[in-house]
Structure 1
Amino acid sequence: MTLTSTRALMDRAAAAGTGLGSFNVLHLETAEAIVQGAEAVGLPVILQISQNCVAYHGSLEPLGAACLAVAAGARVPVALHLDHADDEELVHEAVRLGFSSVMYDGAHLPYGENVAVTTRVVKHAEPFGVYVEAELGRVGGKHGAHYPGVRTDPFEAADFALSTGVDALAVAVGSSHAMTTRSARLDLELIRELRAALDIPLVLHGSSGVPDAMLVAGIAAGLTKINVSTHLNGFFTRAVRQVLGNDQDLVDSRTYLSAGRSALASEAGRLLSLFSRTVPADKG
């Protein structure tokens, strides 16, 4: 229980053919909510802090230390992950602070440069036992690997994984970041092709825009780590907005943050239960 490694959680989920929720932390209340939701359903979870979140707070260590403390006190296994970092120094800091996994995002780079930098990150992380996730989308995707229409090529993905030694790969299969409507359609056939081409777990970013049934189908087709941020943030914000709208004189931030925390916790638990369903592998 409590603080555990991303590698252990990913290996277990991949072997079972289930999905593993990895949810973004924006502030302490988010981390508390995610863990509360996981505890309510008795399932593991990954807390992840993005480079954008680090920029918002001004540094990684305070929020990272808080998340490590929340994870250590949890009644379910919780791991801590650095999400979407394209700053190698930030990756090194996360390793030094005790994060059990990091995601180096070089999808915006030319293929050869992405391979070179990702390989360097893997070599740095390996002595510390830190699990490394990388990202690969079609070269030329103007707005990144998860912009609509961008896709990961299975042959290129296999070469990338072999060349870099990464532990998991974020793939572009139809989702897009920051969607507030759940209307994205995953390319299930491409997921199956990627699963057949690779012997490492596949990661879905931009999951907020994917409806429940398609997430389940994507997991059956071969996805393991399911990242969610915007969708959960919506539950938090709507709850805060409702409390503030009902009491114009309210000034104690704990009151409305508690409402947001409770709303996010409930939905986090529901998503973890959804992802953990054991379904027959989708053979196409």
Structure 2
Amino acid sequence: MPLVPTGELIARVRSADGAVAAFNVITLEHAEAIAAGAERVGRPAILQISENAVKFHGGDLSAVAAAAAAVARASSAPLGLHLDHVVSPDLLRTAHTEGFSSVMFDASKLNYGDNVKATAEAVRWGHERGIWVEAELGRVGGKDGEPPLDAHTPGVRTDPAEAAAYVADTGVDALAVAVGSTHAMTRRTATLDHTLITALRDAVPVPLVLHGSSGVPDDELRAAIAAGMTKINIGTALNTAFTGAVRDHLAAHPDVVDPRKYLVPAREAMAGTVAHFLTVVSP
């Protein structure tokens, strides 16, 4: 199936008051597992590659992007390709040549004014090339000697009025907001601020994105979607499943040296995780 533009996938689920899950791709097995999980439950999904994943692959986006795109095109499920958490302007400018229909430009660690300026430029550049652009906004520290805070630091929240101004000033197509989730959580214990999610939904005209969803319990995710979240980002949960399966296989078969022996159960564990999250976010 041809790649489906991220903006189209988002529009489909948003019109039905639903959400779509976006899963981080690090290895070929991640991409294959995402496609397999989506096919298993008959749901759309987004394959997303972060700037950190690109660094892991030696700083070259082309190979991992080509692999993910090939897997997506060979799948019977509707799948999109998204470039995530891009800080580097140079990496941003490769998105359209590598098959990405969307990009998340992350200027969230800058002060508000610089964030707006950098993001507006990224949006202008992206829209000239037909690329859907997501950005991130949360409270940024730095006053009275306080170090800058990541938008997902516990206790940090996105302000609805500021979000409305930010969307108007940057022209972004979607907004990642800080409502209680945190990146890299390996336990699903996060509690979200659903009242804030609703206020943000009412304040801005664009879809809301939840980063750090691996640490959010199923019922919290369902409530977040009902309150207004449209794109649900999941990364660490796949790595937890992958690594757990590898550990279990090697513990049971300590003499194994062929990586295919443990990558098969690792890929299957990730596919199961993908299928589960997809049934949660789009029942």
The alignment's TM-score, normalised by the length of structure 2, stands at 0.96
Unaligned runs of 5+ in 1: 278-284
Query: Who is 1:121 aligned against?
Result: 122
The question of whether the paired residues in 2 share the 8 Å contact of 1:206 and 1:228 is answered with yes
Query: Which range is displaced more, 45-54 or 133-142?
Result: 133-142
Write the mapping of 1:107-256 to structure 2, written as runs, cut at 5 A. Answer: 107-140=108-141, 142-256=148-262
Whether contact under 8 Å (1:192, 1:221) holds in the other structure is yes
Letter in 2 for 1:110: N
CA distance in 2, matches of 1:184, 1:95: 35
Equivalent pair of 2:237/2:273 in contact (CA under 8 Å): no
CA contact (8 A) 1:37 1:266 kept: yes
| 1:53-75 alpha-carbon deviations (Å, 9 max, x no partner) | 11111111100011111111110
The aligned length equals 277
Shift of 1:255: 1.1
Matched, 1:262 2:263: no
Write the distance in 2 (CA, Å) between the matches of 1:231 and 1:143.
24
Whole-angstrom CA distance in 1 between matches of 2:40 and 2:130: 30
- Structure 1 residue 91: Cα displacement: 0.9
On the 8 A contact 1:3/1:74 being kept in 2, the answer is no
1:181 Cα deviation from its structure 2 partner: 1.0
C-alpha displacement of 1:81: 0.5
Q: CA RMSD in A?
A: 1.0
TM-fit CA distance, 1:233:
1.0
Task: Give, in whole Å, the separation in 1 of the partners of 2:102 and 2:249.
Answer: 36
CA contact (8 A) 2:139 2:149 kept: no
Report the alpha carbon displacement of residue 236 of structure 1 after superposing the two structures with TM. Answer: 1.0
- Helix, strand or coil for the counterpart of 1:237? helix
Instruction: List 4+ stretches of structure 1 deviating above 3 A.
Output: none
1-side partners of 2:258 and 2:187: how far apart? 31
TM-score normalized by structure 1? Answer: 0.96
